[in-house]
Amino acid sequence: MTSVLQQGPLNPSSLHASGRIAREHVDLAIDHVGASLDSRLDQPGGARLIFTSGGTESNNLALRGLCEGRTLLISQIEHPSVIAVGRWLEKRGIRVKWIRVESCGRVCLEHLKLLMDDLSNQPALVSVMSANNETGVVQPIHEIAEICSKFNSLLHVDATQSVGKFPLHLDGSGLTCLTFSAHKFHGPAGIGALWIAPGFELDPILFGGEQQLESRPGTEPVPLIAGLGEAIRLATAEIEKSGNHCLQLRKRFESELMKRFPDLVIHGITQERLPGTSCISFVGADRQSMLMALDLEGVACSSGSACSSGSSPPSHVLQAMGQSEAMTDSALRFAVSKLSTEDDIKSAIECISSVYQRLRR
């Protein structure tokens, strides 16, 4: 990114020499994304990539751009940027149905089928995340794609939590579009993308330029795009090593805390989860008090989605899973990454144990 910035202002829409250099940087990033997601992005009429400011914009673009004439089916545990746009569309006359989840944190496939049957073959757009951002529970996207295909419905997947952590093979996957954001795989904040399968067009939500085939006008931020491309290349190359590293650290983190406090509840523990995500209810302690006390000790965690934790409402994810008020009021989310160390985990365990002992009623 520094190298690109040092080349001066770069506009990939310009026809002069620096514009051509800018376009080369963008095309290289697209090549890295295509290789990482197993999708040919260089074919005329094939799958394509729209760069956005991040996951929130990509989710808005997907749902608002594809909902016309369709019923929207959204799972109850989606990211706030999906749930909020669903409610916004509902107020404007779009029919919206909410897909239930099981107590383990997985989307209920039977309820999805029931909702599809009730539509009487009317077209639908289904939106389900690949893995939950709070519990880490991996969702049955392959099975959902098969259901959508059977009912001739579109499928949007928010894969913000999964890209760079799990291998993805998008060509022939049955997905209509997929969202991701660079900062989730150690790229820069402020840049993301929406992958769109061949044969689908969406209505833009921004106007005023012809960039990106008018799907998302505005001069592309070349340094951010270059950073996204390099970050996804590195993340994909290290995906197995990083995943194993995170998984081992998470296992040690959870097992040691459970050994000390058997009453703790780890949500989604029976399901396949993201290797580095852990959502724990510290029964008898208040989540906000725990969060602030841990922050003073140097432990960074959250009491829900980072996009809504500023207002600190109870977790809508845990509520959708049918968890009690005691569970939701004491739940904190922790995450480790490939940059985390054994010493980080050891220190965090000691800090959390000390704070919990002090705050539990």
Mean pLDDT value of segment 330-335? 97
Q: Decide if pLDDT at 206 tops 90.
A: no
Pick from 57, 59, 125: nearest CA to 96:
125
Average pLDDT over residues 241-266: 98
pLDDT of residue 150 exceeding 80, the answer is: yes
Q: According to the model, what pLDDT value does residue 92 have?
A: 94
Q: Which position among 104, 177, 279, 307 bears the catalytic label?
A: 307
Q: Which CATH architecture fits 239-359?
A: Alpha-Beta Complex (3.90)
Residue 208 has pLDDT above 90, yes or no: no
pLDDT value at residue 306: 56
> What number of CA atoms fall less than 13 Å from residue 192's CA on the CB side?
24
Total-model pTM: 0.94
* Chain centroid to CA 352: 27
pLDDT of residue 212: 83
Answer with the residue of higher pLDDT: 122 or 54.
Answer: 54
Any catalytic annotation for residue 177? no
Residue the block writes with tokens 């690109």: 4
Buried b vs exposed e over 288-314: b needs ≥16 C-beta within 10 Å? Answer: eebbebbeeeebebbbbbeebbeeeeb
pLDDT of 64 over the 80 cut: yes
Task: Give 151-168 pLDDT, tens digit per residue.
Answer: 999 999 999 999 999 999
Identical topology for domains 2-237 and 239-359? no
pLDDT tens digits, residue range 91-141? 999 999 999 999 999 999 999 999 999 998 789 999 999 999 999 999 999
**Summary mean pLDDT of the chain:** 94
Convert the pLDDT of each residue in 79-88 to its tens digit. Answer: 999 999 999 9
Q: Which fold has domain 2-237?
A: Aspartate Aminotransferase; domain 2 (3.40.640)
Q: What mean pLDDT is predicted for residues 33-54?
A: 95
Does 307 have pLDDT greater than 60?
no
- pLDDT at position 215, please? 87
Q: What does the pLDDT read at residue 14?
A: 86
pLDDT for 305 beyond 80: no
Q: Where is pLDDT greater, at 310 or 330? A: 330
Q: Is the pLDDT of residue 39 over 80?
A: yes
Which residues on neighbouring strands pair with residue 278, listed in sequence order?
334
Q: What percent of the chain has pLDDT over 70?
A: 97
pLDDT of residue 361: 67
**Residue 310 clears pLDDT 80, i.e. is over it:** no
For position 74, what pLDDT does the model report? Answer: 98
Long-range CB contacts (within 8 A, 24+) of 184-188: 184/55, 184/160, 185/231, 185/232, 185/235, 186/231, 186/234, 186/235, 186/337, 186/338, 186/339, 187/227, 187/228, 187/230, 187/231, 187/232, 188/1, 188/223, 188/224, 188/227, 188/228, 188/231
Going from N- to C-terminal start, the domains of the chain cover 2-237, 239-359
8 pLDDT higher than 90: no
Q: How far apart are CA 17 and CA 5, in angstroms?
A: 16
What integer pLDDT is reported at residue 304 of this predicted model? 65
